[in-house]
Amino acid sequence: MAFKKLSMEELGRKSVAEFRTSEKSPVVVVLDNVRSMHNVGSVFRSADAFLTRGIYLCGYTPRPPHRDIHKTALGATETVHWEYEPEIISLIQRLKSEGYTICAVEQAEGSIPLQELELKAGLKIALVFGNEVEGVQDPVLELCDLCVEIPQSGMKHSLNISVAAGIVLWEIARKQP
């Protein structure tokens, strides 16, 4: 079989206006103290790909506009709703009051392997990703309703945050009832 790449027209890409009015997944991403602008931009692209409701940038996480974020986001900062919240604890409390289940993505005692995560219809979920080296802060973990981890078999047991976000967002999109 011969394969032919699809053109932009054949891909059926949404316009910015169509994206903004599309029904979104009940998922938000929280990035806390993420250092790399390239990671932030990549998470924006994944959030766009899976019609995520939005992204919250906390602590010293860089935020648009910045050319290094735009370089990897490829326009997703114009489609994905985002907000800056300097203090993650107050954001987590606000999201809980809005009915979100707070889910850390972290290798922690009691975490659920991602493939075992069960989602109920209508579940609003906030995925918390921490710093590239330190991970999700302990005070934040204490406020989480659940914790998932991506099972890994190699020596490192460590994925780049943008890769981890893409994997988790895909798995949630695949499982959403």
**What is the pLDDT, as a whole number, of residue 87?**
97
pLDDT value for 30: 98
User: What's the pLDDT score for residue 176?
Assistant: 86
Q: Measured between alpha carbons, how far is 15 from 134 in angstroms, rounded to an integer?
A: 37
Half-sphere exposure of 80 (CA within 13 A, CB side): 33
Tell me the CATH class for 23-175.
alpha beta
User: What does the pLDDT profile of the chain (177 residues) look like in tens digits?
Assistant: 899 999 888 998 888 899 889 999 999 999 999 999 999 999 999 999 999 999 999 999 999 999 999 999 999 999 999 999 999 999 999 999 999 999 999 999 999 999 999 999 889 999 999 999 999 999 999 999 999 999 999 988 889 999 999 999 999 999 987
Return d(Cα 34, Cα 32) in angstroms, integer: 6
pLDDT of residue 37: 97
Task: Give me the residue spans of the domains in the chain.
Answer: 23-175
